[in-house]
Amino acid sequence: MLNFDEARFTRIQSGAVALSGPLDDLVGTLLDQGAKNVFFLGAGGAGVLMQPAVQLISRHSDFPAHLDNAAELMAVGSTNLGEGSIVVVPSLSGTTKEAVQVVEYARGKGAVTITLTGYADSPVAKAADHNFTNFAADDTSSESFYLQSLEFALSIVRRRGELPDYDTVIAELALLPTLLIEAKRSFEERAEALAVATKDVGYHIFTGAGEAWTEAWYFATCILEEMQWVRTRPVHASDFFHGTLELVEQGVSVVLLKGEDATRALADRVEAFVPSITEELTVIDSASFDLPGISPRVRALISHIVLATVLERYSAHLEVVRDHPLTTRRYYRRLDY
């Protein structure tokens, strides 16, 4: 596979899986101590990657879970944040200004802070009450953060007595590092063809529902916009028919990410409509990838992880055919803003 180190990928994702035990132990301790809610507070893409975990807790447990933008929460506050709150802050570099600030803000409110970082000696890691470090880089961080936050969410639901098959689910997640490599391999040829076909496209509509929506937003914004300077319009599949459909015309690129949870029907509706207007519809469906040993129940929990891992193959080829390295920036961390 192009510019891909299999051993490195396996090591990173196995590291994320291995955190399930320590995370579960901490969750158990905090709940025993009377934790009353959880906040996932991040900046930019890392914060958005927490959305599937929050949705899992909200949909399977009565334990209050919140997803907020760190900077906005610090600006307006929250009556729900305080003593008894668990605050989870992801930051790959551990240096993101808003991430450092929100950890300190939350601790000042009496919350217990947990950080998920790529570097143990980073400011974010050092500022937290509890830090979990799993080294990763931009091309491996999505899966790593998705896995860690999923494990955290599963632990909360389990510790509340609402997930009796927790051990089975975690055992299946342990299979993923190897399975994700095979998913990448099976997508490699299509990824290259897709990169060649879209290298000159200057505007895409990205859409999806459920967990797939999180990855649609993330890839469109953090990869195509930030790393490739390609304009995108991310829109949830349920909102596609409330405005965005008027932007669809012949020649407009629409990229639909499909997952395997109960929201799949929302994606089906978009898939049925778009070809009647434009031929430029690209569908990437997590259900099309073989994942031996993963049950339908768990597949429904990890669609975003599968989509993230195969889309990395697309971006790897895209940077080559566009002669635009994914590390190139004009403003991000280059200017004082």
C-alpha to C-alpha distance for 58 and 283, rounded to whole angstroms: 28
Looking at residue 333, its pLDDT comes to 85
pLDDT digits (tens, 9 = 90+) for 132-177: 999 999 999 999 999 999 999 999 999 999 999 999 999 999 999 9
Indicate whether 244 pLDDT > 90.
yes
pLDDT digits (tens, 9 = 90+) for 252-310: 999 999 999 999 999 999 999 999 999 999 999 999 999 999 999 999 999 999 999 99
* 160's tokens: 């509340």
Looking at residue 314, its pLDDT comes to 98
Tell me the domain boundaries of the chain: 6-173, 176-321
pLDDT band at 332 (very low <50, low <70, confident <90, very high): confident
The residues that bridge with 192 in the sheet, in sequence order, are none
Phi, psi of 170 (to 5 degrees): -60, -40
Looking at residue 337, its pLDDT comes to 80
Pairing of strands 203-208, 231-236: parallel
* pTM score of the predicted model: 0.97
> Any long-range contacts for 6-10 (C-beta under 8 Å, 24+ apart)?
6/181, 8/140, 9/140, 9/177, 9/180, 9/181, 10/177, 10/178, 10/181
What 3-state DSSP class applies to 90? strand
pLDDT digits (tens, 9 = 90+) for 95-114: 999 999 999 999 999 999 99
Q: What percent of the chain has pLDDT over 70?
A: 100
Domain 6-173 has what CATH class?
alpha beta
pLDDT band at 334 (very low <50, low <70, confident <90, very high): confident
Indicate whether 328 pLDDT > 90.
yes
Query: Taking Cα atoms as reference points, which of 298, 52, 54 lies closest to residue 174?
Result: 298
Cβ atoms of residues 38 and 156 within 8 Å: yes
| Domain at 176-321, CATH from 3.40.50.10490, 3.40.50.620, 3.40.50.720, 3.40.50.300 | 3.40.50.10490
As a whole number, the mean pLDDT across the chain is 97
Cβ atoms of residues 311 and 206 within 8 Å: no
* 326's tokens: 């994914």
C-alpha to C-alpha distance for 105 and 141, rounded to whole angstroms: 25
Query: Taking Cα atoms as reference points, which of 236, 214, 205, 167 lies closest to residue 47?
Result: 214
Looking at residue 242, its pLDDT comes to 98
246 residue type, one letter: E
One fold for 6-173 and 176-321:
yes
